[in-house]
Amino acid sequence: MSKVRHVLGISGGKDSAALAIYMKQNYPHLDIEYYTSDTGKELDETYQLIDNLEIFLGKKILRLTGADNSPELPFDHFIKMYNGYLPSSNARWCTKKLKLDPFEKFVGNDPVISYVGIRGDEDREGYISKKSNIQSIFPFRRNIWSEDVINKFLANANITIAQNCFNTLSLNGKTERINEIVNTKISTTFNQQQKLNQLLDLGVRVFNKAVFEFIKTTKYPLSKEDSFALVDNEDVLVRDDIFRILEDSGVGVPAYYKEVEFEINGKKSTYARSRSGCFFCFYQQKIEWVWLYEQHKDLFLKAMEYERDGYTWIEDEPLSELIKPERIERIKEEYIKRSQSKKNKIQSPYLLDILSEAEEEGCASCFI
Ligand code: SF4
């Protein structure tokens, strides 16, 4: 039987970096393999973060690339294969070729636990892989289990099995209430999320232990382990915690998050980049393109070079149009207006909250 491997992907973003630090600090006995899928097109700040992390972890972060034997950088190798067809949110060949395929090749058929840095204040699942030998765990959330595990554990058809899993544990006077919830079928008046929350409210550890018992009856990678330290994990980490972990560890917050001041028509504001990933990523907002143009002009010009034969990064707007002075002015004006109305609504001190309307978009391998 193959040994279970524990892996953690570093995207270059703040959350996966903080997770790597958190795992080393809290679960030093776990032999975690760290990897990053390098497109060759990340910002220098991202490569710097990865170097800092390697020092902190005292371990190499394996660089995976989609095109091992190519003389070209991975993205350039594939864009040639696709005849210059730029990726977009509807045709995201880049994530598949540069992130998911190399990751799946790296794990092969080994049973793998993959730790994912989705935070406790996010409401998303984060697609990593659908291969059955890869099981995702989310240490920053109250519910550390992936959706497919929960779907099975709480399925009406598995009520008796779930009940047996709880019965093996000491329930500290909560037996009756737990039994009642476990035995209540999911229906139109009692959905799975409610059932999950009610059980977690009665004790995260007990719930995790019951799920672990259940997993032993399945073919999930964790079924091959005798114990799993994270069943005792009751932490819920939100955005503030992520910044604190990065700063306290000395690894630091990726420099592209740093707010830079700008002024337009007498109005002052700040901009930054809201996420990791390729410098030309089509998920970035227009103000982030302006940031790239003004803060990393060389990279912006490189992004422009990819726009050929009618292919553009932004639908209906070539980058050459976006950098016309009157267009930059309008983008900045609109951004200031939008951030002010958003600030009034969400009262968040983070520029990230203003910028990252679409933080939940995209793929876990690029941005977490
Ligand atoms: S960062 Fe953006 S462009 Fe780069 S691989 Fe991910 S989705 Fe594609």
Closest residue to atom 1 of ligand 1, CA basis? 277
Task: Give the position, in ligand 1's atom list, of the atom nearest the Cα of 362.
Answer: 7
Q: Which domains does the chain carry?
A: 5-144+232-249 (3.40.50.620), 150-229 (no CATH), 255-367 (no CATH)
| Token representation of residue 122 | 């996010």
HSE (CB half, 13 Å, CA atoms) of 185? 4
How far apart are alpha carbons 53 and 246 in whole angstroms?
10
Query: Is the distance from CB of 211 to CB of 153 less than 8 angstroms?
Result: yes
CA of 106 to the centre of ligand 1 (A): 19
Q: What is the pLDDT along the chain (368 residues), one digit of tens a residue?
A: 558 999 999 988 999 999 999 999 999 999 999 999 999 999 999 999 999 999 999 999 999 988 888 999 999 999 999 999 999 988 889 999 999 899 999 999 999 999 999 999 887 776 656 788 999 999 999 999 999 999 999 999 999 999 999 999 987 888 899 999 999 999 999 999 999 999 999 999 999 999 999 999 999 999 999 999 999 999 999 999 999 999 999 999 988 888 999 999 999 999 999 888 999 999 999 999 999 999 999 999 999 999 999 999 999 899 999 999 999 999 999 999 988 887 666 556 566 665 655 455 555 666 67
What residue spans of 108-249 are helical by DSSP H?
A: 147-153, 159-167, 175-183, 192-201, 204-215, 239-249
DSSP 69: T
How far apart are alpha carbons 223 and 225 in whole angstroms?
6
| Token representation of residue 51 | 């170097």
Closest residue to atom 8 of ligand 1, CA basis? 94
Task: Give the position, in ligand 1's atom list, of the atom nearest the Cα of 366.
Answer: 6
Closest residue to atom 7 of ligand 1, CA basis? 95
Per the listing, tokens 């309008």 go with 330
Which residues are 317's β-sheet partners?
314
Query: Is the distance from CB of 243 to CB of 253 less than 8 angstroms?
Result: yes
Closest residue to atom 3 of ligand 1, CA basis? 281
Residues in contact with ligand 1 (CB, 6 Å cut-off):
39, 87, 92, 94-95, 98-99, 277-278, 281, 283, 362, 366
Alpha-carbon separation of residue 102 from 23, 99, 365 (angstroms): 23, 6, 11
User: Ligand 1 pocket check: which of 101, 363, 366 to mutate, most ligand atoms within 8 Å of Cβ?
Assistant: 366
CA of 92 to the centre of ligand 1 (A): 8
How open is the CA angle 237-272-23, to the nearest 5 degrees?
25
CA of 119 to the centre of ligand 1 (A): 21
